[in-house]
Amino acid sequence: MKPPSSLVLVTLAAGVLGAGLAWTGLVLRLFPGQPSPFGPWGWASGAGPRLVTDAQLLAWPMVAVGCAWLGIVLGLWMRLGWVRRVGLVLSALSALALGTALLLTLPAFAGLMSPSMGRWLASDPSADGG
């Protein structure tokens, strides 16, 4: 079975979001003066209004959420059905971030909710020769 376009959409959006959050969390932790382009973290560090007093508190959660998104992408390609539910929960949590994270979460959420994604996860990988 050929991978559906919704899987490609989720892979692109969640891959960029996951890698971006993980990388930015590490940079924020290692170099505290650097601004973050993702979600409220971008407003919490560097120039601009501050939403939190110390952006360092958000660095490790960013790494964890970013790695979780990358794990979701891998799980979807391996056709693990439970990963879709985890992805929907993570989409809801990531949407709270607003900013760039919200813009990347919306296409990932749409791809996870699509019927073609459900068919992909329900299909038998052994029928594909895999």
pLDDT tens string 8-46: 999 999 999 999 889 888 888 887 766 655 544 444 444
Q: How far apart are CA 48 and CA 53, in angstroms?
A: 13
| Residue from 65, 55, 62, 15 nearest 35 by CA | 55
Asked if the model's pLDDT at residue 98 lies above 70, the reply is no
Print burial letters for 73-88: b (CB count within 10 Å at least 16), e (below 16): bebbeebeeebbeebe
Name the more confident of 98 and 56: 56
Coil, helix or strand at residue 101: helix
* 39-75 pLDDT tens trace: 444 444 444 445 555 667 778 888 999 999 999 999 9
pLDDT tens digit string along 107-123?
999 999 999 999 999 99
- The reported pLDDT for the residue numbered 1 is 74
Could you report how far apart the first and last alpha carbons of the chain are, in Å? 10
